[in-house]
Amino acid sequence: MTLIKVSHPVLPIMSYPAHPTLSQSSYPRLTRSLSAVESWGFGLTAHISWTALVPAIHAALGSQAIFVWIPAVIFGMLLNYQVKRLGMHFINVAGGTPNYATKLLQNYPALACYAAIGYLLNWVSYLAVNTIVLRDLIKVNLEALGIACPEIWLDIGFTLLPFIVAFSGTRALSILHLFFIIPAFGLLITFCVQGLGWLAFSDVSPGFFPNNWSSLGFVDWAKWFFFVTYATYSCETASSFVADSRQPTQTLRFLEVAAWMMPPIFLGGSWVMMRLATDPSLEDNAFLNLVAASHPFWGESAAISVSFLLVAASLLGSATVVSNCPRILYQLALDKHISPVFSVVSRRGVFVPALTLTLVLCLIYLIWGDVARIVAVGNVGWFVSFMLLHLGLWLRRDRPEVLFPRISLAILLLEVVVLVVGGFAWGWLNLLIGLLFPIGVMGIDAVIRRVNFPPFHPSWWMRRYKSRPVVIIKDSVVLQVSILIFLLCSAVAAGWLFGDKLNKAANSGGENLFVVLLMTVAFVGVAIACWTSLPQVVAIAEAREAAEHLFTVAQDGILVVDDRGIIQQANPATESFFGVNPSELRGNHLNKWLTALVYYPDEWTKRSEQTLLRNGKNKILEVSISDRPHQDFQEYVVILHDITQRKQAEQILRYSEAQLRQEAKQLASQLVQSEKMSSLGQLVAGVAHEINNPINFIYGNISYANQYIEDLLKLLKLYQQNYPNPGTEIQEEIEAIDLNFLIADLPNLLTSMTVGVERITEIVLSLRNFSRLDETEMKAVNIHEGIDNTLMILEHRFKAKSNSLTIQVIKEYGDLPLVECYAGQLNQVFMNLLANAIDALEEAVENGEWRAEKAALSPPQIYIYTQLTSENQVVIRIVDNGTGIPENVQKQLFEPFFTTKPAGKGTGLGLSISYQIITQKHLGKLQCISTPGQGTEFVVVIPLKQQTI
């Protein structure tokens, strides 16, 4: 079932500035410490309380009482199902039904608070009534023995007894309640079932059905329906413990069981009382009526059984009150209906302010002392509380948590009539007091909010709970033994005293007092233990749970071995070490897996490293051993910590140190080479700049010189035309300088000078473009321009020399857009690849690879291809037709300082730096493809658009 919690804002009744504002997140929250079974026990308290109610209605109505019980039981069963649905919706709400009502009436905060307080007051009255009933029961039995009854001390004792247990802060109250509720409820259900069976099948039975039925008026019906809802509406008590139940859904499911336990007890038991307790002299005495009804089938054991039932009902009811009421106040404070001080919970789960208010209200009832009026007054607020609950169900009828909205409305209308008719039947004064009492408690709460008294502030309690206790008992064994001696001596003294009185008593009935004393002593013993032994037991249990939790969740393997090395316990983490289920480890010696360990643990080293072979792999374990002596035996705790990775890391670290030193040297060389290239770039740029200035001057003046010479030649021709017969001296000079050749060759000379200057200008431009000092950042450039500039610089190496051939350069450029790159570094790559290709071809020529016939067919060539792929990758291929590179050399080409050239001809860094520039700076690829005897191809692949690096 999927539970959806819907949070509804709850408006406070009014604001009180005297208190500091605390957010709900700062309030302590209940810990889910109760088991589902413990919460179930509280859900059966109302069934036991039937024993106190049935005699009164039976004495008043006789056989007609069954017609009051039937509708009351039906309404109670429907209520249980409805409360279960509300609990599933408000799974973290404590206090149960009254606090569900405040959620339903959140738009009417005053009514919501009134409903919860009215519900609370009825439970408080139940404790006061139980105290008076127990006191009267003991008083009757003591007077029969001739012993004076200390009424005041009994009132105080039975009132404080459940509070002493509740203030201790342990789970003892719930366990004690469960311990007695099981036999009491079993005895009660036995009474009902066995009584019905005896009526149906016994030969001496008066008959299952009465001979006649008396009439029942509506006023009497309303009066007693108002009375019996005291029990039938309270079978939903288990819902109060949902917020601190370890299994809240299981706690709520018990409401169905509690609902179906109502018919056999409330109807079946009432039927047995109606048929068997018919003596009018019994009146409304619960003890006498139950004994009379059970005597036919229980015989002589009826009196002691009934005594046990009545005492159990009273004591268990009181225990439920001190458990239920503080949770109601706690949730009301959380929802801001009452003072926030009631939301304070100690670290042990004690509601000290809420319990204190409950005790004060109980004392008010107790001082009043009239059981009939206490029941009547308490039942008024109780009845109005359920009326408001049914009103809230009708108002929220469209919500999924509401089961029977129309039925709730019908019950509400009936309850209004019953309250008026039945309430006046019990007395208008009781009705008025019952209606005003919740308002008075709300007034007390208003005073608590306004009075500037430290214990009325949550912060005062929180400071106390956070501080450590001043007195710490170091040796609690002495205290426990002293308390045990005191209890034993007191029990012996009390037994001797009452035994002496019983022996002197002339009449019987002492066994009834024995039952009262037995159960009272049990409660007193638990109360004393709650403040002495049980805190120590709880602390030991908490420590054991914490140790078991650590044992379970620890990532290291933990083993417990005996003095022979046999494994006794193993935590779940050991499975990852040995590959064996922890249960299969038990009973085996540890050296079955860790063979280096000797047989006896007392010879083991406290800390060692052991090798474990698993799945063909060695695992190194750090083994720590500590002994744990006991009184009767010796055992050892073995902790296994996997240090395989640490050992591997240490080995890798040692191996890496030498490698790092070598790489540091390589990096230093690369930095030197990079610095050299940077300096070379600056030098080239500077030289290019210095050459460019005079070349520009020369290139700019050649045109003028050419013009001047042409003008002079024209003038010379004019002289020759006008003075065809020069003098002898001039004629000799003309012949000496070969004037005709000079006139013909001078223009050619100027043209050659212009071509040379233009060539120098192109070389200077290529040098500047190659250096790219103004382009140190990534930008879009023309790749082809960079290749051409590189070829321009290397052009002198392509020309034939005395011992070499001309190298042909074949360019097949694709249609490339501008490419984002580091232009200077990419030009460096082109320079390295082309220089290596030229070196390879020159080496092949020197080695005689190209003879005249081969050179004619296939001269030395370098092919340069570029293309753009469909994946926007730019591919540059530089191919030579040299001798190729052997395969064993290809694998080392891009390693730093690897070179095949002789000493002095290469550093071995060119291809390594080129590889880093392409792969790291441009996120591309550089690949060498070579076939020995056919040539070598270098493939450069870079993205068209670079990511931001």
Q: Give Cα separations from 234 to 53, 223, 420, 645, 853 (angstroms).
A: 13, 18, 21, 64, 119
With a cut of 70, say whether residue 775 has pLDDT above it.
Answer: no
> pLDDT tens across 806-864, in order?
888 999 999 999 999 888 788 888 888 888 888 888 888 887 776 655 555 678 889 99
> pLDDT tens across 497-546, in order?
555 555 554 444 555 656 666 666 666 666 666 565 656 666 666 666 66
pLDDT at 415: 92
Helix or strand holding residue 215 (H, E): none
> pLDDT tens across 612-653, in order?
777 667 778 888 888 766 555 678 888 888 877 777 777 788
Which one, of 204, 536, 236, lies nearest residue 385 by Cα?
A: 236
What six digits make up the tokens of 411? 């019950």
**DSSP label of 242:** S
Taking a C-beta distance cutoff of 8 angstroms, is the pair 254, 38 a contact? no
Which three-class secondary structure state does DSSP give residue 672?
helix
> pLDDT tens across 49-62, in order?
888 888 888 888 88
What six digits make up the tokens of 349? 């789960």
What six digits make up the tokens of 735? 């012949």
Q: Give Cα separations from 623 to 81, 589, 609, 615, 618 (angstroms).
A: 58, 15, 6, 20, 15
φ, ψ for residue 607 (rounded to 5)?
-145, 125
Taking a C-beta distance cutoff of 8 angstroms, is the pair 43, 254 a contact? yes
With a cut of 80, say whether residue 253 has pLDDT above it.
Answer: yes
Cα diameter, the chain: 190
pLDDT at 263: 95
What six digits make up the tokens of 290? 């139950």
Buried b (16+ CB within 10 A) or exposed e, 643-669: eeeeeeeeeeeeeeeeeeeeeeebeeb
CA 480 to chain centre: 41
CA 914 to chain centre: 52
Q: Give Cα separations from 16 to 340, 446, 447 (angstroms).
A: 11, 8, 10
Taking a C-beta distance cutoff of 8 angstroms, is the pair 134, 308 a contact? no
Q: Give Cα separations from 403 to 81, 107, 195, 260, 409 (angstroms).
A: 8, 20, 36, 18, 12
Banded model confidence at residue 102, pLDDT cuts 50, 70, 90: very high
pLDDT at 101: 93
Average pLDDT over residues 930-948: 86
> pLDDT tens across 557-585, in order?
888 888 788 888 888 887 777 777 888 78
Contacts 24+ apart (CB under 8 A), 203-212: 204/296, 206/275, 206/276, 206/278, 207/275, 208/275, 210/63, 210/274, 210/275
pTM of the model: 0.58
Average pLDDT over residues 797-808: 75
The C-alpha atoms of residue 392 and residue 385 are separated, in whole angstroms, by: 11
Locate all alpha helices (DSSP H) within 145-247, ordered by sequence. 151-167, 172-201, 218-232
Average confidence score pLDDT of the chain? 79
The C-alpha atoms of residue 154 and residue 651 are separated, in whole angstroms, by: 80
Return the number of other C-beta atoms located less than 10 Å from residue 171's C-beta. Answer: 19
Which one, of 271, 309, 298, lies nearest residue 185 by Cα?
A: 309
pLDDT at 577: 77
> pLDDT tens across 150-175, in order?
777 877 877 888 887 787 765 667 77
Q: Which residue has the tokens 């710490």?
A: 472
Helix or strand holding residue 653 (H, E): helix 644-722
Average pLDDT over residues 923-931: 89
The C-alpha atoms of residue 52 and residue 128 are separated, in whole angstroms, by: 14
